[in-house]
Structure 1
Amino acid sequence: MKIVRTVPDLRELLRPYRGEGSVGFVPTMGALHEGHLELARRARAADDVVVMSIFVNPTQFNDPADLAAYPRDEHKDAELAASAGVDVLFAPGVAEVYPPGFTATVSLHGPIVEALEGAHRGVGHFQGVTTVVSKLFGMVSPDRAYFGQKDAQQVRVVRAMVADLNIPTEIVVVPTVREPDGMAMSSRNRRLSPFERARAAHISAALWEAEVAVANGIVDAGAVVQVARKVLSDNAIDVEYLELVDADTFLPVRVLVAGPALLAVAAVIGGVRLIDNVVLHPRA
């Protein structure tokens, strides 16, 4: 595996694959875990060369303390990336991505950026996401890019950006990788104490209870949400949002009648903000 830090070096490495093979891309902010490695393995199985980026993007953090606390260990990340079959690790500095005088932004509008994370973190959060992802796509020019279902809203936003800007990159969504107790893997999990980590497992348990309720025929959105909310409240979990939205439009769902709905949650445990979701399919 080769590590590069500049766009010219990256493009020179990838030049032999242009027109001769496919380039798979896994964008990350580092602090790699099994979820990231599964994305890399999926790319390895489908593409001729696999690029992973590690860049902690400052523009998508609305809290400077959260940015400062984000875990960083490039040496360990490089070892993990190599073990998952990554060929090129792109680890640019902030000045490489946002050079002096940089003023461009990529902004989307509508419920997909205004609901859930957008409502609680501000629409600037997704502007930071779309701006940096569009830049990374321009740097790597991947045939496919791999994202995890855990960040369902981010995936939807990236899909919309790719469609709107005619970017020739296929977005591949990989199911959420979970711990044995069901908790979604996240770099933030390592900031939890053992006691907090045990409580956090109830987040995925709440989503699972809602999934069971829908499988048993409950279609009223309020009732479905209440099933999950009770699990969270019974375990004293501070909920930032728990909402049922259309999986495509991100508009609120009142009754599950057709098509998939996304039950998404953001909760804070021990000062650590965690997100998760499940896609619900009403019975025919």
Structure 2
Amino acid sequence: MLIFNKQTDLKAYLSPFWTAKTTIGFVPTMGALHDGHLSLLRKALQENKVVVMSIFVNPTQFNNPEDLEKYPRTLDRDVQKIATLSDKVIIYAPTVEDIYNGKTVSESFNYDGLEHQMEGKHRPGHFDGVGTIVKRLFEIVQPSNSYFGEKDFQQLQIIKKLVQKHKIPVNVIGCPIHREKNGLAMSSRNERLTETEKEESTLIFKTLTTAKKLFGTKSAKEVSEFVKKTFENHPKFSLEYFQIADEATLKPCFRKSKNKKYRAFIAVFINNIRLIDTISLN
């Protein structure tokens, strides 16, 4: 298992593969790996000759300093998990200095309005931070294919837009959400939940599943009212937002159209831990 902490060393190692036009798969993560991350890694290993996984908690995408401080950092354990799949994965675990070179600030990006919906409304500057780190990682690794989970569907759409607008030669591949047996979407933040909270948080996916059924016969407004009332009846939870949106533009759905794909997005707090999830409604 090769672990690089400096981009100069990683680039020197990858350079012959770039020259030979070897397919390089890339899975960017913030660590605290779970089976969802490993499913991305498994797909990357199947589809590429060389695979790189980055483990880096990116400070510029956190608008809440407390969330950044509490974000789990488990590099040794992460390496052990990666080794269960393959000992040929190249790990890039840089320092903030190596990535930002003393200037830990975001670039500004225009994602044609995708950034103004949902997460963008509630986490100012978040997608500038995401764009900054993903663009830099793409420049360092120069992958053929890069893999992202659909749990962060808005992020996935934004990265596709980033690649398109900046003409970055990488194929961005979205992969299905990986869930716990009880339906809870896998997330590094789940590590902060107690076992009881994990079980209680199944309410999120159950509510999304019911919302999907209701969307077949009810309006987006009626479905949203159902979700709002559901969480009002469960005081342990605080609903930050629920939105039914057009998958392509991420703009809210006010009236259903037969030729559009819709998706429900949700963000919920339990004990100050923020959980997000999403489900296709078509």
The answer to whether TM tops 0.5 is yes
Amino acid at match of 2:227: A
- Report if the CA contact (8 A) 2:53-2:90 is conserved: yes
Match of 1:15, SS state, is: helix
* Letter of the structure 1 residue corresponding to residue 232 of structure 2: S
Map 1:173-184 → 2, pairs under 5 A? 173-184=174-185
Conservation of the 8 A alpha-carbon contact between 1:219 and 1:255: no
- Name structure 1 gaps, 5 residues minimum: none
> Secondary structure of the equivalent of 1:13?
helix
Identical-pair percentage: 38
Residue 76 of structure 1 deviates from its aligned partner by 0.4
Distance in 1, Cα, partners of 2:229 & 2:210: 10
Which residue in the other structure is 1:28 paired with? Answer: 29
State the alpha-carbon separation in 1 of the partners of residues 11 and 113 from structure 2: 36
Match of 1:88 in 2: 90
Superposition TM-score, scaled by structure 1 size: 0.93
Amino acid at match of 1:73: T
Matches within 5 A, 1:183-198: 183-198=184-199
What is residue 262 of structure 1 aligned with on the other side?
263
1:112 is the counterpart of 2:111:
no
Shift of 1:31: 0.4
Structure 1 residue aligned with 2:250: 250
CA distance in 2, matches of 1:26, 1:143: 11
Q: Which amino acid aligns with 1:4?
A: F
Residue 78 (structure 1) aligned with residue 64 (structure 2): no
Cα distance between partner residues in 2 of 1:234 and 1:104: 39
Is the contact made by 1:245 and 1:262 (CA closer than 8 Å) also made in structure 2?
A: yes
1:101 and 1:67 map into 2 onto residues whose CA distance is 17
* Cα contact 1:149–1:176 (8 A) shared by 2: yes
Q: Which moved more, 1:70-79 or 1:101-110?
A: 101-110
Q: What are the superposed Cα offsets for residues 130-179 of structure 1, whole Å, 9 maximum, x if unpaired?
A: 01100000000000000000000111110100000000000000000000
Offset at 1:103? 6.3
State how far apart, in whole Å, the 1-side matches of 2:263 and 2:193 are: 26
When residues 160 and 20 of structure 1 are mapped into structure 2, their CA distance, relative to the original with a 3 A threshold, is: closer
Take 1:44 and 1:165, find their aligned partners in 2: how far apart are those partners? 27
**Closer, same or farther: CA 172–120 of 1 in aligned 2, 3 Å:** same
Q: What CA distance in whole angstroms lies between the structure 2 residues aligned with 1:5 and 1:131?
A: 19
Deviates more, 1:99-108 or 1:186-195: 99-108
SS in structure 2 opposite 1:51?
A: strand
SS of structure 1 residue aligned to 2:201: helix
Q: How many residues align?
A: 278
The answer to whether the aligner puts 1:240 opposite 2:232 as a matched pair is no
1:265 is paired with a residue whose SS is strand
Greater Cα offset, 192-201 or 144-153 = 192-201
State the 1:15 CA deviation.
Answer: 2.2
1:227 corresponds to: 226
Q: Do the aligned partners of 2:111 and 2:161 also contact (CA within 8 Å) in 1?
A: no
- How far is the alpha carbon of 1:277 from its aligned partner? 0.5
The answer to whether the 8 A contact 2:151-2:277 is kept is yes
Q: Deviations over 1:229-280 (max 9, x none)?
A: 3433333321000011111111110122232112100000011000001111
Query: Which has the larger displacement, 57-66 or 96-105?
Result: 96-105
DSSP-derived class of the 1:100 partner: coil
AA of the residue aligned to 1:250 = L
Cα RMSD, aligned residues only: 1.5
Kept after mapping to 2: 8 A contact 1:112/1:250: yes
The match for 1:59 is 60
In 1, Cα distance between equivalents of 2:43 and 2:227:
31
CA distance in 1 between counterparts of 2:103 and 2:123 reads: 26
Contact 1:27 1:54 in 2 (8 A): yes
For residues 28 and 90 of structure 1, the distance between their equivalents in structure 2, rounded to whole angstroms, comes to 10
Deviation at 1:104, TM superposition (A): 6.6
What does residue 99 of structure 1 align with?
101
Q: For the Cα contact (< 8 Å) 1:206–1:229, is it kept in 2? A: no
Kindly provide the CA deviation profile for residues 32-71 of structure 1, in whole angstroms up to 9, marking residues without a partner as x.
Answer: 0001000000000100011000010000111111101000
